[in-house]
Amino acid sequence: MGAFCSVIKFENLQELKRLCHWGPIIALGVIAICSTMAMIDSVLWYWPLHTTGGSVNFIMLINWTVMILYNYFNAMFIGPGFVPLGWKPENSQDSMYLQYCKVCQAYKAPRSHHCRKCNRCVLKMDHHCPWINNCCGFQNHASFTLFLLLAPLGCIHAAFIFVMTMYTQLYNRLSFGWNTVKIDMSAARRDPLPLIPFGLAAFAATLFALGLALGTTIAVGMLFFIQMKIILRNKTSIESWIEEKAKDRIQYYQLDEVFVFPYDMGSRWKNFKQVFTWSGVPEGDGLAWPIREGCHQYDLTIEQLKQKADKRVRSVRYRVIEDYSGACCPLNKGIKTFFTSPCTEEPRIRLQRGEFILATRGLRYWLYGDKILDDSFVEGVSRIRGWFPRNCVEKCPCDAETDQAPEGEKKNR
């Protein structure tokens, strides 16, 4: 009893508030519907428990549900890990390479970023995920990725049960006319008769669950491949954007340098082990990181400071070339744009051809930035901020960018 009470602390109970959010409610609702309907369909109408195959199938369904929920709640309640309040590097001279967070009253450790939703600086922040109502970062990156893997696998199994249930129950009930197809739902055609007949309500519920399972398989499966891609490169979504802006800065100023991402260990297996371990606990403390040979511990933070000082790089200017309605998952912008829509509570912004955008970060098929309402390119003016598809905009020509930079700045650089 004492050990149980030591686990349940006030802080842990406060974390339960994360469940009171539309993201976890929808996610847990989909898991509950798919797993419950799969068990009901298999036991009552497709694969009864008195058969060996039915028993194994039922155990597998329970196993999928338990593993999915285990990793989901781990990702939610363990959290990403935060930079300690008031943290500063052991060597005071290293603070010159780091950004200072006024909210946390601490220096931002390498690879950490401040999350406005969590109101803390997050260790190795990848993104704030509304489905777990928490950030994905250093401590929960493995659990989050395993959830993204197990959820589609479990849904594929459930979808197979749904399809086979409808097939076996409706096979003898279909009658084809010259121009019609009729389904006789009045009587069960299974011998022995099931305890509950497969009626119209069961058919509708199974069909609905099948749609959820297939949609989850596609959407979550795409997220899994995106996460694995950056894990094998030992990057985060934010760091990929920083690297892209670094290349843009070097190209614009025609500098004789090459930006090398310092945390890519040069081997996919070594990068993989930075996130996934047998103990389930990631390597290190999230404040200091192993780096590849020839790089410096603060190469990435130094690059961030350069970009922060360079207004042109900090906000890359784009011109809108195609209208965008502001839809969350636009069907008319391409299949990749549709399935890689950012999983965030941040809004989308409506675009019209000819408008200008200052993009501050982005993904492969999406960008995030401010729409300039008065076309003045002056900081501090009223703007509309949000996500928009990358294929709706194009970078402004270099001659326009040169006009924006102060006279002689490019030469001085």
Q: How far apart are CA 314 and CA 245, in angstroms?
A: 8
Amino acid in the structure at residue 38: A
Strands of 55-177 (E only): list them.
100-101, 106-107, 113-115, 120-122, 127-129, 134-136, 174-176
Which of 129, 135, 136, 392 is flagged as catalytic?
Answer: 129
Q: How far apart are CA 54 and CA 158, in angstroms?
A: 14
**In contact, 140 and 74? CB cutoff 8 Å:** yes
Give, rounded to a whole angstrom, the gap between the first and last alpha carbons of the chain: 66
**In contact, 121 and 104? CB cutoff 8 Å:** yes
Q: How far apart are CA 380 and CA 409, in angstroms?
A: 22
**Three-class SS of residue 97?**
helix
Question: Is position 136 annotated as part of the catalytic site?
Answer: no
For residue 125, give every residue at least 6 positions away whose Cβ sits within 8 Å of its Cβ, in sequence order, or none.
Answer: 80, 111, 112, 113, 115, 135, 136, 137, 236, 238
The closest alpha carbon to 138, from 253, 58, 234, belongs to: 234
Outline where 194-289 has alpha helix (H): 200-232, 237-253, 268-273
DSSP annotation of 372:
E
DSSP annotation of 82:
B
- Give the catalytic positions in this structure: 129
